[in-house]
């Protein structure tokens, strides 16, 4: 009985450790390096400039069509 209990407990320990490794560890966000952050900011600026130029172009077209 004692030997059987010991074997079962060791198998349960191993299963518990394996499940702990598979489980997500925390809600902490992924680390983003400084270079990546700067790159993301530059890309966002480029997109914003493109959108503003498109809006300006549409405004000019509306003015022309209104005249």
Q: Which residue has the higher pLDDT, 52 or 60?
A: 52
Instruction: Give DSSP secondary structure letters for 7-22.
Output: HHHHHHHHHHHHHHHH
What is the C-alpha separation between 12 and 19, in angstroms, rounded? 11
pTM for the model: 0.46
State the distance between the two ends of the chain, measured CA to CA, in whole angstroms: 97
For the chain, the structural domain boundaries read 34-67
What pLDDT digit, counting tens, does each position of 6-54 carry? 999 999 999 999 998 888 777 888 899 999 999 999 999 999 999 888 8
């Amino acid at each position: 009985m004692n030997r059987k209990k010991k074997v079962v407990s060791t198998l349960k320990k191993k299963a518990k450790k394996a499940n702990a490794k598979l489980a997500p560890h925390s809600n902490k966000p992924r680390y983003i390096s400084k270079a990546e952050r700067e790159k993301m900011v530059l890309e966002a600026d480029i997109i914003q400039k493109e959108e503003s130029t498109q809006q300006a172009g549409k405004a000019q077209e509306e003015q022309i069509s209104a005249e």
